[in-house]
Amino acid sequence: MNVFDILGPIMIGPSSSHTAGAARIGRIARALLGTQPVQAQILLHGSFAKTYKGHGTDKALIAGIMGMEPDDERIRFSPQIAQEQGLSVTILPTEIDNAHPNTARITLTDANNHSVTLQGASIGGGNIMVTQVNGMDVQITGQYTTLIVLHQDTPGTIAAVTDVLAASQVNICNFRLSRQKKGGIAVMTIEMDGSFDCELNKRIESLPNILSSTMLLPN
């Protein structure tokens, strides 16, 4: 803990969990898609579903999806900006089984019909936990530099990725694998000490059996 954890974050109100955290979940969804989304479907659960209008949770999520930071003063106009940028947004309050009370499930689709689905929870003080990527369980807090690598579940793929990291002197502090089924699509989430350039990410993406690699920098 440091002084700026107590006097901070600098954020758009009114609520660190319902507004700042929501923007961060949206940003990660956008980073995972990697391209400009044209469509966003947002399911809201629990307190998010009940109070999103009053807290501006919808606006914060949309702003995050457009890449805005939690302290961006354009957040309150984000639905309008989305419309201007050709992003169509649907928001549905719903119930998601076994989810944290402040949970959103976001599906983003780009102009080439490429899409990604992310589920995340805002767990207090603007901190978040992404719990699912394309239906696969993950645990991403965004507090470390994080690689999210979607790949085909084949022998040697994990070793190939960690070899690239080892060659760049990267220290892994957390590694997690989740897959839809044996031999199907799988996701590696790798948390690392320090921060790195996107060259590392490109080298991983060029490996065989890698579908996509996204690097999230800590905030």
Partner 1 sequence: MNIEFKYDSVAALVAAAQQAGEPISALVLRQQAQHLEKNEAEVFAQMKETYAVMANCIEPGCDEHLRSTSGLTGGSAFKMRKAVQQGKTLTGSVLGGALYRALAVSELNAAMGRVVAAPTAGSCGILPAAMLTMQQDLGYSEDACIMALFTASAVGMVIATNACVAGAQGGCQAECGSAAAMAAAAITELAGGSPEQVADAVAIALKNILGLVCDPVAGLVEIPCIKRNASGVAGAFVAAEMALAGIASAIPADETIWAMKKVGDAMSPSLKETAEGGLAITPTGQKLYEQVFGTTGGCTGCGGCAKG
Candidates 36, 41, 51, 115; binder of partner 1 (CB under 8 A) is 51
Interface with partner 1 by CB under 8 A: which range of 28-36, 71-79, 108-116, 164-172? Answer: 71-79
Please say which residue, 206 or 219, places its beta carbon nearer to partner 1: 219
Is 208 a binding residue for partner 1 by CB under 8 A? The answer is no
Two tokens at 208?
């065989």
Two tokens at 1?
């803990």
Is 195 a binding residue for partner 1 by CB under 8 A? The answer is no
Q: How far is the CB of 108 from partner 1 (least distance, A)?
A: 23
Interface with partner 1 by CB under 8 A: which range of 13-21, 32-40, 160-168, 174-182? Answer: 13-21
Q: How far is the CB of 51 from partner 1 (least distance, A)?
A: 5
Please say which residue, 59 or 105, places its beta carbon nearer to partner 1: 59
Residues 6+ apart with CB under 8 A from 149: 161, 187, 188, 189, 190, 204, 210, 212, 213, 214
Q: Residue 81: enclosing H or E segment and its boundaries?
A: helix 78-84
The CA-atom distances, in angstroms, between 130 and each of 25, 70, 122, 208 are 7, 16, 9, 26
Please say which residue, 58 or 213, places its beta carbon nearer to partner 1: 58
Candidates 35, 67, 71, 90; binder of partner 1 (CB under 8 A) is 71
From CA 119, how far away is CA 9, in angstroms rounded?
A: 23
One character per residue 110-129, x = contact with partner 1 (rule: CB under 8 A): --------------xxx---
Query: The dihedral of CA 152, 178, 126, 44: what is its sign?
Result: positive
From CA 58, how far away is CA 78, in angstroms rounded?
A: 9
Candidates 62, 75, 87, 165; binder of partner 1 (CB under 8 A) is 75
Is 19 a binding residue for partner 1 by CB under 8 A? The answer is yes
CA-nearest of 210, 23, 66 to 190 is 210
Please say which residue, 71 or 163, places its beta carbon nearer to partner 1: 71
CA-nearest of 15, 58, 65, 14 to 35 is 65
Is 97 a binding residue for partner 1 by CB under 8 A? The answer is no
**Residues interacting with partner 1, by CB under 8 A?**
1-16, 19-20, 47, 50-51, 53-56, 59, 71, 73, 75-76, 124-126
